[in-house]
Chains A and B, each alone.
Chain A
């Protein structure tokens, strides 16, 4: 055990200290932040005048929505159904609907729109709504206070009691009048993002394992080391060490990306984002958070507009399953493939010889990424179902399916199969590896590999 830790430590430290690791760690977040920031920037920078129709069933917001430089409000007297029907024919950018509430003050609103709603519009509406409701609460409180003159006033309690967050859902109305919750788009982004992340992680760090094994073979140090430790220990030490490098890089990316995004968006929108919510955002993505926190998020006053929609989408997803299965498929997908990459590295003499073995190994991965577009359209279909069970494709395909909701038992079966796949490939890989690392100057064929696996 001490020895395998030594191996893990060496594999980890030599890679983390490399210049290429540091460069990748800096470039990755810049790229990812760019992907997030550019659309936000475009969304905030359009100065076109937008008309928003308002259907206010409560009557509380009459004349409260003041026109701004880019948004003009007009009130409809019709009910919501006819408003929606007419929406397609009007020139309105969006339709704001504030449903009637019986007892409490309204804190919900729906924005119908033909396209993704501009976040400036949304935040403008939210600000006005919450301010109005806070004013009303304050009024009520003050009325109470004047009645009970002898009770002391606690300003902090007072302020807290009136604080209000408004929950705005956005629903897209298609050209055919069909309604679609717009955050399925977020699910889709989440699905593709998760899938690409796993694909990329397996590919990049799996081939690092392979190159590491080849390096040990060509430098002829491998026999020196296997006279001190078992070949299996060397192989697993390398796989785990490189995996930890990957996780480190991933964690750094998440942290740096959010630092960049929060930094840039706050200067863009001119608002500071509360440290609290960005911290939670970071925690949830690194996976070390308590799921309850995120689900409770809308109850807290969030001023952060850019991430708001993502929060809404995130809230619609079963978080323990999402994060738990992401980590599981992420890790075991990597472990399973890394073992096979190590076996290839052990079997060949140089990187040039790896081609014939790399193709069949990476084909399932490439296939699942190619089919991603299709699976996103039909995440519960037979192709998606079967590919999410096969261990070689399940890490990527399951990640595509999960944001859309997958029955827990299907996830469980897929996990069990992946675990079995991991144990099976590791066993096979360790046999190929063991024989291969001591073999030099021989071009290995599939027949030969088969013999090595069957060997006593």
Chain B
């Protein structure tokens, strides 16, 4: 079931269209990646989901019904432009932000002490935010995003500005949250993290959604029928053995083994490649080369630019 869905969202600003008929479906319990180049409209969409701005047209569904103003208490949001009151004490500030999300004061205190001890920042409760290191501020920022145990979590460029240690911590926590039943939307252009974390993605470019679906399905769809074969080195030139329609993309030798990447014609199967090679070489392994999200991202975006 979809925890959240947006249908035909359009948002027009005075000069330009920020979103044009964009629809996304976020399955419950999944991690949903919202991808796209800068200025594509990701942040606008995220702000619409958070009800910070309203779309011109389109429908937003949450938990099987229309999105309502009070749903902000079931949504957690870590914006791209984020920060804390510098002059305010850490604990006081966290309590304030937690209460704004609808928690009662005692409840907020209880949960905060849990998170603060988990992240080992309890000793900083009465310090001003400006006295904290950047990394510690980021931890506080993360805590106040998830403190009200939201059903839906939205991270806009969560990894930007975080140091590598906190990036790992954040990834871990995101996976933890998924385990405990939260659904997560995050926008990024860090493709490695997409492959690592996301189950589903939508790719937005120039206000339009140009690609969406299950990550694995997308990668399969963009597979180019390319295989890498490892075998014992031979004197023979492989080009002479393989049929002309088999295209050798890359060939390299690692010590005793030689590896070659071959792109097969559309109708050909990996079996065909093996049967051609087997009489001549000893096969060690065969792997399909599936394009990374990064390649797909670049391919889809540039293809579209070429076609328009």
Contacts and interface: CB of A to CB of B under 8 A. Distances in A.
Interface of A: 3, 6-7, 10, 14, 215-216, 219-221, 223-231, 438, 440, 451, 455-456
Contacts, number: 63
Contacts of B208: none
A440 B86 CA distance: 19
Contacts of A440: 81
B100 A221 contact: no
Given A224-B97, A438-B52, A451-B14, 5 more contacts: A219-B85, A219-B86, A220-B79, A226-B52, A455-B14
Contacts of A438: 47, 52-53
Contacts of A221: 82-85
Contacts of A216: 85
Interface string B65-96: 00001001101011101111111100000001
A247 B96 CA distance: 24
Contacts of A6: 96, 99-100
B101 interface: yes
B25 interface: no
B56 interface: yes
Contact of B101 (A219, A228, A451, A455): A228
B82 A3 contact: no
Contact of A224 (B53, B56, B73, B144): B144
B82 A227 contact: no
Contacts of A3: 100
The 9 A-B pairs at the shortest CB distance, nearest first, are namely A220-B83, A223-B79, A228-B100, A227-B77, A219-B83, A227-B50, A220-B81, A221-B83, A451-B14
Contacts of B83: 219-221, 224
B49 to A, nearest CB: 10
A7 B77 CA distance: 19
A454 to B, nearest CB: 9
A230 B51 CA distance: 9
Nearest to A452: B14
Nearest to B52: A226
A223 B154 CA distance: 13
28 contacts: A6-B96, A6-B99, A7-B100, A10-B96, A14-B87, A215-B85, A219-B83, A220-B82, A221-B85, A223-B52, A223-B77, A224-B79, A224-B82, A224-B84, A224-B97, A224-B144, A224-B145, A226-B52, A227-B72, A228-B73, A228-B97, A228-B101, A229-B72, A230-B69, A231-B52, A440-B81, A455-B14, A456-B56
Residue of A224, A230, A455, A456 with most partner-chain B CB within 10 A = A224
Residues of B in contact with A, size category: 20 to 34
Interface of B: 14, 47, 50, 52-53, 56, 69, 72-73, 75, 77-79, 81-88, 96-97, 99-101, 141, 144-145
Nearest to B97: A224
Contacts of A231: 52
Contact of A223 (B82, B96, B100): B82
Given A6-B99, A227-B77, A227-B79, A14 B47 contact: no
Contacts of B72: 227-229
A14 to B, nearest CB: 7
A347 to B, nearest CB: 15
Contacts of A10: 96
A224 B88 CA distance: 15
A240 B97 CA distance: 19
A221 B87 CA distance: 12
A440 B43 CA distance: 13
Contacts of B84: 219, 221, 224
Contacts of A220: 79, 81-83
Nearest to A229: B100
Nearest to B96: A10
Contacts of B88: 14
A455 B47 CA distance: 17
A440 B101 CA distance: 25
Nearest to A223: B79
A220 B14 CA distance: 25
A451 B16 CA distance: 13
Contacts of A456: 56
Nearest to B78: A224
With most chain B CB atoms within 10 A of its CB, the pick from A10, A220, A225, A227 is A227
Nearest to B49: A227
Given A6-B96, A6-B99, A438-B47, A223 B81 contact: yes
A229 B52 CA distance: 9
A7 B83 CA distance: 17
B100 A225 contact: yes
A283 B188 CA distance: 61
A1 to B, nearest CB: 12
B92 to A, nearest CB: 9
Contacts of B101: 228
Nearest to B53: A438
A45 B101 CA distance: 64
Nearest to B100: A228
A237 to B, nearest CB: 10
Nearest to B56: A456
A3 B87 CA distance: 21
A216 B87 CA distance: 11
A220 B161 CA distance: 13
A230 B72 CA distance: 10
A7 B97 CA distance: 10
A229 B73 CA distance: 10
Which residue among A10, A14, A228, A230 has the maximum number of chain B CB atoms within 10 Å of its CB? A228
B94 to A, nearest CB: 11
A116 B27 CA distance: 85
Contacts of A451: 14
Contacts of B145: 224
A435 to B, nearest CB: 9
Nearest to B69: A230
